[in-house]
Structure 1
């Protein structure tokens, strides 16, 4: 019979390692904001159509258990109904994470799902502040579904591999 705790739940083996993650640093690697509307000298009422592209990158750092994750955003705002560009923002925001006791087969999704979730509130704030300071209403990014983003990228890579095999 398995040992149980006071709540009747099975006790965890004391040697079972707990997953551990710490954010060691966060930083803006690169950022640009172009107010194209102001550069053209036009104004007036415009309804923006905002397109957001998100790319993620992760790599192992030389100290043990350290990883760097970078979220790359490209935000393109055009006036609805026209091709008139209002602004363009590009942001690369990174984090350095200390991660222990995550199984090797789970490390890739962990780095590209859980780590960006930790960074996202800071990215949202930067985008809001920069668009506001750039002369537009603050852009409050909607929450990004990093699980879906990860699954879509894996499916895209698998389709690409199959296409390469079929062409060979």
Structure 2
């Protein structure tokens, strides 16, 4: 049975911009100690500051699409191993967010855990979240952290520091061709 929260009913948003933000964070961590490149961080901050209300909404939808795509890949990878993605990914994600109190406020963690579980079960994260009203300030940064942590997790299990980014860019290329 189809759900009203299925991804086919959700806007994809600006996946390219969302990937740029997540990839920028991944690269800053790969450089060591999580110290961002000042020039790269300034560019990302100027980009985010330049977004109007519609563009900001597109970016949020884009990050939700990344979460959905990452969780879909993780679900398939775990199913191939006879494992449940929710059992293996969500506790690690929640624990990681809990260790990041300056980046992720504690009140945002349950919502983002629910959002990831929604994605793991085939629901659109943006539509699932929409039923609870507007995004809160606490959830904004936590959503970016969630996409980053999922991408980092994929990169670690594939032992390829660019796998998650390549996964999305290849999917975008296929979508443009089709």
Normalised-by-shorter TM-score class: under 0.3
Give the structure-2-normalised TM-score. 0.24
Kindly name which structure, 1 or 2, has the bigger radius of gyration based on alpha carbons.
1
Q: Which has the higher strand share?
A: 1
State the structure with bigger RCO (CA 8 A, min sep 6), 1 or 2.
2
